[in-house]
Structure 1
């Protein structure tokens, strides 16, 4: 199901919604689908991770800074 969703979804949002609609163990699929779709489509683009979703993450700015630090290492 994971590969089906990734190969057919045209955006991050579409993939996440398709995963939810599948039912069952959506969490078990999400940990792969989310990062793959984010890597494919980026952040803040029309097909990428919506900035409005990221704005709801607690301490998002701090988490982003930590990720940037890890990537720079």
Structure 2
């Protein structure tokens, strides 16, 4: 499936604020902060998983996994 066909990842304001807090807070575990950044970037530029992965220095599978995790509705 082409990345451009992904549905936009929509976050509520509360979800966005929580993720931003985790991404910025120095006491947050590295893995949690990275996952928060992945989800936030996917919400901003959700149709391009490869670009999100490249900007964060993770593999495409990792970015895809955490984006998909947030799509459970």
Q: Under a length normalisation based on structure 1, what TM-score does the superposition of the two structures give?
A: 0.31
Higher RCO (CA 8 Å, separation ≥ 6 residues): 2
Q: Under a length normalisation based on structure 2, what TM-score does the superposition of the two structures give?
A: 0.31
